[in-house]
Amino acid sequence: MSNQINRQQVERVAHLSRLDLTDQELDLFSGQLSSIVEYIQKLNELDTKNVEPLAHSLPVHNVFRPDTPRASLPTEQALANAPDRVDDFYKVPQILDDNSGA
């Protein structure tokens, strides 16, 4: 596989991503992406046979408190700062219309 990302490939991905890129951006991104692919190719040349896979480079431990059930806030207190409400619920603007198919 070629290490170069050409302008046509960037145009195709931009089209699929619904991005409207300028000619200057297309040239810039094709160069930047080519550099990234070249760097990854260099990393692929390293012998990592005896290197153990890591999830994190430093030892980590769980810093969260134990998850224990406890009583919820009373409804009035939970909704005290709600900008708008209907009975015991938050009222939010409608985001789907009848033609949305949802």
In this prediction, residue 2 carries a pLDDT of 61
Of 95, 70, 75, the residue nearest 85 (C-alpha): 75
The mean pLDDT of the chain is: 89
**Element spanning 57, H or E:** none
H or E, element range at 90: strand 89-90
Give the pLDDT score at 101: 67
Tokens of 102: 């949802």
Half-sphere exposure of 4 (CA within 13 A, CB side): 4
* Residue 58 pLDDT class (50, 70, 90 cuts): confident
Domains of the chain: 7-44 (1.10.20)
Residue 41: predicted pLDDT: 92
Q: Which residues pair with 89 in a beta bridge?
A: 86
Q: How confident is the model at residue 56 (pLDDT cuts 50, 70, 90)?
A: confident
